[in-house]
Amino acid sequence: MLNDQLHVLLTAGPTYEPLDPVRFLGNRSTGKMGYALAEAFAAAGARVTLVSGPSQLPDPTGPLIRTVRVETAAEMFAAAEPVAAEADVWVFAAAVADYRPAQVAAEKIKKSGETMMLELVKNVDIAATLGQRKRPEQFAVGFALETTNELAHAQDKLRRKNFDLVVLNSLRDAGAGFGHDTNQVTVLDAANQFVNFTLQSKADVARGLVRLILARLKTT
């Protein structure tokens, strides 16, 4: 641990990438898993900086949680980057848009013709970029939400983004993923060790993940 009190950087929720003043590209993430993790870490005595994309959830309460609201991937990176430099644990639970519109229209785009071409450009990969700067004493956890070849994609993400653990969600599991109050996950590490969490409330999954992360910290 870098400080007497564990400091956790936690990203949560979606990002919205504007197309014009009324439309955006986004995803179905609600932020429920990330917010549950923020509360679980705080309950364990950790100080939490929660960088949240657009979510209808109220800010988690408590003196140990600071919530920073952002909208786009670029804003999330700008908010997370300085915190990551001094945080002990990073947990990337946000569903960050991989791409954004190349041009944002100043006015609402009017309907015209039968098709519309939309050019997209790649967003910064927040976890991968910060992972390149991770120091040995820091601990990083990522989330992988997959629909096919789940295990292979999660293992690849763990390596590419310099995670210590990756939490795998499969949308093929009933009651797991976006929008649900429950979740079912598998946690993997670089040694291909697995910890399975059966379907349960996201609050219970969060408490289990926090216990697992804190246990790993004691052995590193």
Choose, from 27, 123, 183, 192, the residue flagged as catalytic: 27
Long-range contact set of residues 26-30: C-beta below 8 Å, sequence gap at least 24: 26/54, 26/97, 27/95, 27/97, 27/178, 28/95, 28/178, 28/179, 29/53, 29/55, 29/94, 29/95, 29/178, 30/55, 30/56, 30/57, 30/178, 30/179
pLDDT of residue 4: 64
In 3D space, the residue among 158, 54, 150, 139 whose CA is nearest the CA of residue 88 turns out to be: 139
Domain count, the chain: 1
The answer as to whether 2 is a domain residue is no
Which residue do the tokens 């013709």 mark?
113
Q: Is residue 163 part of a domain?
A: yes
Instruction: Spell out, as residue ranges, where the chain has pLDDT lower than 50.
Output: 1-3
From the list 5, 96, 98, 99, the residue with the least C-alpha distance to 51 is 96
Question: Would you state the pLDDT for residue 141?
Answer: 98
Domain range for 209: 7-218
pLDDT in tens, 159-210: 999 999 999 987 777 666 677 889 999 999 999 889 999 999 999 999 999 9
In a domain, 1, yes or no: no
Q: Residue 131: give its domain's CATH number.
A: 3.40.50.10300
* Residue 27 annotated among the catalytic residues of the structure: yes
Task: Look at residue 176 and tell me if it is in a domain.
Answer: yes
By percentage, how much of the chain surpasses pLDDT 90?
83
**65, part of any domain:** yes
Per-residue confidence (pLDDT) for residue 177, from 0 to 100: 66
